[in-house]
Amino acid sequence: MSAPMNMLRTYRKLSNFSSILQNFKKEKQKNVFCISIRCLSLQEYQSKKLMLDNGINCQKFVVCSSVEEAKTAAKKLEVDEYVIKAQILAGGRGKGVFSNGFKGGVHLTKNPSEVEGLVTSMLGHKLKTKQTTGDGVKVSKVMVAEALDLARETYFAIVLDRSFAGPVIIGSKHGGMDIEETAATDPHSIIKEPVDIMTSVTERQCLSVAEKLGFQGNNLQTAADQIRRLYELFVKVDATQVEINPFGETPDGRVVCFDAKINFDDNAAFRQKEVFAMDDMAETDPREIEASRLKLNYIALEGSIGCLVNGAGLAMATMDIIKLHGGEPANFLDVGGGVSEQQVHDAFFLLMGDSHVKTILVNIFGGIVNCATVATGIIKASKKLHLELPLVVRLEGNNVEEAKKILAESGMKITVADGFNDAARLSVQSASTA
């Protein structure tokens, strides 16, 4: 995995990433754009299976992907109460609405005969929630699980925290709510317990955290055991975050992880083949899937200016200056430090396939790369792909004069910008008139 994508992804993996993203969403209307990060995301049932396989207490469940499976789901579980959940990555499922008019992606029932009908009403239909875009996400799987009452709920998580240079256990007696809200209303209730990654979490630490979360009696040791197993899972699967909310107790004295969110280190994909194979890409932007196939560092946005840039910092600065001039970037696209003619071709192919793109801006700084190589790649790609979109090019650095000469003598309609600011201004102007 290349350093540019790590820079973007690491930004999201900091201990305060949730609050940062929330602030970004609030500020979106104030000329601050949100970068959507392409990371491995597992469905709820997948996270729970990972936990069950590692000795962590969760509700029993079955997954239905067809009407036939829905018919036998209730019999397979045989529990007192069922919870039926549509499996999509977006939040707010309970208040969502399906394309067939059915309301709610989460339902409870004690009647086994109702399970089939509820599953059937969800399968194959698009669910629209406050977090989905367009007309929603098609539901291809529904989880039918054991519904449990909560006697008490707490919050538990393990995250990588830069300030502690390693894993940190975070907990609160206030479960079932956003940890950001708890931090704002009752910051002193939040527990932070750094873990030495070289020696692992200790029994004393597990018991201390469990006690601070309010577990007592036999459940104190049970909760400590679950905390230890959660940390072992965190390390085993190369996670950057394991969040259990709520981590609770049932009226009959069980300690259960009711809901889970697990984030993974993309750099460990080579080591975690089974985990990463669980990502079916069903909810991933097709443009990002194609970019992954072409081995390009690409994040789809919603603007009209396609960006081809080398270096993550320069790519983000390019998006910033486009915004400054009143435009909207269509993507983050970093082709890396050593840009080849083939990479330029593949990047043009990807940008031309995006119907939102009205203008392409190439912004290259030739440090390692020879600008003349980039210029030649631009001309070859433009001719081979029959590029008709307006093209603005800014080149600086290694062999830039030769590169500008190549572009000028190509006979093609290419706008060569004089500097970073000029490139952004010209591309915004071109997109607005296209």
The catalytic residue among 243, 249, 288, 298 is: 243
Q: Specify the DSSP class assigned to residue 163.
A: G
140 three-state secondary structure: coil
Rounded to whole angstroms, the Cα distance separating 12 from 22 reads 12
Strand pairing class (82-86; 142-146): antiparallel
Q: Specify the DSSP class assigned to residue 430.
A: H
Rounded to whole angstroms, the Cα distance separating 296 from 283 reads 19
Rounded to whole angstroms, the Cα distance separating 362 from 45 reads 43
The catalytic residue among 155, 231, 249, 288 is: 155
Question: Contact at 8 Å (CB) between 151 and 93?
Answer: no
Q: Specify the DSSP class assigned to residue 89.
A: S
Residue 113 phi, psi (nearest 5): -70, -15
- Reading the block at residue 213, the tokens are 């979360």
* N-terminal to C-terminal alpha carbon distance within the chain: 36
Rounded to whole angstroms, the Cα distance separating 189 from 212 reads 9
- What angle, 0 to 180 degrees and rounded to 10, lies between the N-to-C axes of helices 3-13 and 312-324? 70
Question: Contact at 8 Å (CB) between 156 and 247?
Answer: yes
Q: Which DSSP helix (H) or strand (E) runs through 51?
A: helix 44-53
CA-wise closest residue to 423 among 296, 299, 304, 319: 319
Q: Active site includes 243?
A: yes
Taking phi first (over 0 means left), then psi (-120 to 50 degrees means alpha), and beta for anything else, what does residue 166 get?
Answer: left
Question: Contact at 8 Å (CB) between 296 and 335?
Answer: yes
Rounded to whole angstroms, the Cα distance separating 225 from 243 reads 16
Rounded to whole angstroms, the Cα distance separating 158 from 264 reads 12
Rounded to whole angstroms, the Cα distance separating 123 from 86 reads 8
Which positions are annotated as active-site residues?
155, 243
